[in-house]
Chains A and B, each alone.
Chain A
């Protein structure tokens, strides 16, 4: 099993450009998450999904959109990239729901995005 994979691994964008980050998991997990990690800030939740066709806002959703058309995939879109969105983006999935006391999350390797 590959676990959680992310595409691409690195990307450089110019301000105003758009892009989509792809997350895929082969563990048949219902729940998926997108985080960003900035130096000194820890991980912050952007959006999450509790099932195919559903998405919800996390802690820092502005400037991002997501879609979960297939259970195994969770896409993160930046419609008009800004330098403040320079970060490392992690996708994660879990078998148990986020409200569960047991919420082990499996993380992908991350996408390093730079917006100039």
Chain B
């Protein structure tokens, strides 16, 4: 399984874009990059996922480098409610019994007023 590396914490001013990096240099060609976040005392929440093209939805944008060895999650206008731990997950192939979502330690994003 590909491992991911994320900075342990980041700060962002309210209203500014939050850019969260993730390194996944050993990613395989058929592995997707997923992003989830976990607001304090809540369950994880899906944000976005992609394979090699950039993706955008109502929550965020995902930029994947051409070599797929790294990606960046962009929250275009961060609010205080975006304060959470953000997990970058390289989704391994599903084998019965294993975990399709392997959550590491993530990046703790603090949005500051």
- Residues in A lying within 8 Å of B, measured CB to CB: 4, 35, 37, 40, 42-45, 56-59, 90, 92, 98-110
Per the bound structure, the CA–CA distance linking A105 and B35 in Å amounts to: 11
Nearest-neighbour CB distance to chain B for A47, whole angstroms, equals 10
* Secondary structure type dominating chain B contacts: loop
Contacts of B41 in A (CB 8 A): 109-110
Contact A43 B103 (CB under 8 A): yes
Per the bound structure, the CA–CA distance linking A45 and B96 in Å amounts to: 11
Contact B98 A45 (CB under 8 A): yes
Contact A43 B32 (CB under 8 A): no
Nearest-neighbour CB distance to chain B for A103, whole angstroms, equals 6
Contact B97 A90 (CB under 8 A): no
Q: Please provide the 4 A-B residue pairs with the shortest distance between their CB atoms, ordered closest to farther.
A: A107-B43, A42-B103, A99-B94, A45-B99
Contact A104 B99 (CB under 8 A): no
Per the bound structure, the CA–CA distance linking A40 and B41 in Å amounts to: 15
Closest to A57 in B: B97
Per the bound structure, the CA–CA distance linking A26 and B90 in Å amounts to: 28
Contacts of A45 in B (CB 8 A): 97-100
Per the bound structure, the CA–CA distance linking A116 and B99 in Å amounts to: 28
Closest to B103 in A: A42
